[in-house]
Structure 1
Amino acid sequence: MGPVERNDIEAQISQFLAEMDDINNETTWNGRKLLEMDERITTNPTHSRTRIMLQTGADSHNTVFFGFSMSGVAGRQGHSSGDLHLAGVVERGHVDSHASAQAYMGSIESAIASVSISMREVGSMMARLTFKEEQVTVAHANVEAAFNRIYNADIAREQVKATTYLILQQISTAALAQANANPQAVLSLFR
C-alpha cells in the first residue's frame, strides 16, 4: 500500500471519528448527553462495585439496583485508580506506515472488545428493565380497568335497578301485611 492510499485511509478514519463525535454530541435524553465522552465516573475507593438505583414503580420500595465493577473497566482502559475517564478511548491515529497502521488497528480492536463487554452488561440490564416495564404496564392496565368499572358505571341503569328493588321490597312488605291481615279477619268473626 502506498502513501496515497494510506492518506486516503487516514482521511476516511478522521471522517468516521468526526461522525462518532457528532453522534456522541447529539444523543441526549431529558437534557443529558447519554454518550458523554468527557464524563468522569468516580467510584468509592473502599468499594469495588458501584450501584445504580432505579425506581420502577409507584412506591419507594419498588426499586431495581444495578451494580458494575469500575476496577474492571478502569483496568481495561489502562487506569489503575477508580476513576474512569472515557475521553480518548480511541485516539486519532496515523496510518502512515505499516507498523503504525497495525498498532492503530490493535487499539481499535481493544476498544471494540471493551465496548462489546460493556454492551453485554447493558443488554442484561435492559432485559431486566424490559421485564419490569411489562409488569408495570400490566399493573397500570389493571388499575385503569378497575377505575373505569367504578367511575364509568351507567348511573341511569343502576338507578333503575335500585328503584326496581325498592318497589319489589315494598310489594313484598304489602303482601306480607295482607297475609297477616286475612287470618285476623277470620278470627274476628268468631268473637
Structure 2
Amino acid sequence: MVGTIGAARALVALAAGLTLAAAAVVPPLSAQSATTSAPATAVPSTNAFIAAAATGDLFEIETSKLAMERVGDPATKTFARKLVQEHTASTDELKTLVRAATLEVSLPTTLEGEPARKLEQLRGLSGPAFATAYAQMQEEALKQTVTLFESYATSGELPVLKDWAGRSLPALRQNMRTADSLTR
C-alpha cells in the first residue's frame, strides 16, 4: 500500500505541473523531459493513474477558478472557464468509472505538496505576473497530463480507464496547444 501511495504521489505531482527540475527527483520519470520525444514513461498502476488524473483535474480547476477572477485578458479568461468546465466533467466521469469498476480508491479533494505550493504561488501574484505564471503552469501541467494519459491509454491495466484516457487525449492536447499560445 505504501509503495502505491508513493508512486501515486510522484505521478500526482507531475500531473499537477511540477517543473522539469523537480521531475528529475522522481526516478521512473527522470529520464524524460516534457519537451523531448523520449520513449513513454513507465505505465502507472491503475490507482496511481486515478490519483494523478484526479489531482490534475483538481489543480486545473482551482488554478483556473483563480484565473477567472484575476485576469482581464478575454482569451485567458475563456480558456480558464473552459478548463474548469472540462476538468469538472472529467472528474465526474472518473468518479463514475471508479464506482462502476468497484475500485477501492478515493479521489483527492484537496491539493497537497507541489500542486498546493503552485496554487499558493499563483494566489500571491496579480496582473501580468499572474497571467504569465498561470499560462506557464497550465502548459506544463497539460504536458505532464498528456504524457500520463498517453502512457495509460497505451498500456494501462483497466480497459475502461484505458478507453477513457484515450478519449480524453484530443481535448487535453488541444488545451495544451492553447496554453502554449497564451505563453507566447
Greater strand fraction, Structure 1 or Structure 2: 1
Structure 1 or 2: more helix by fraction: 2
TM-score, with normalisation over the residues of structure 2? Answer: 0.31
Q: Which has the higher relative contact order, 1 or 2, with Cα contacts under 8 A spaced 6 or more apart?
A: 2
Query: In terms of Rg, which structure is larger?
Result: 1
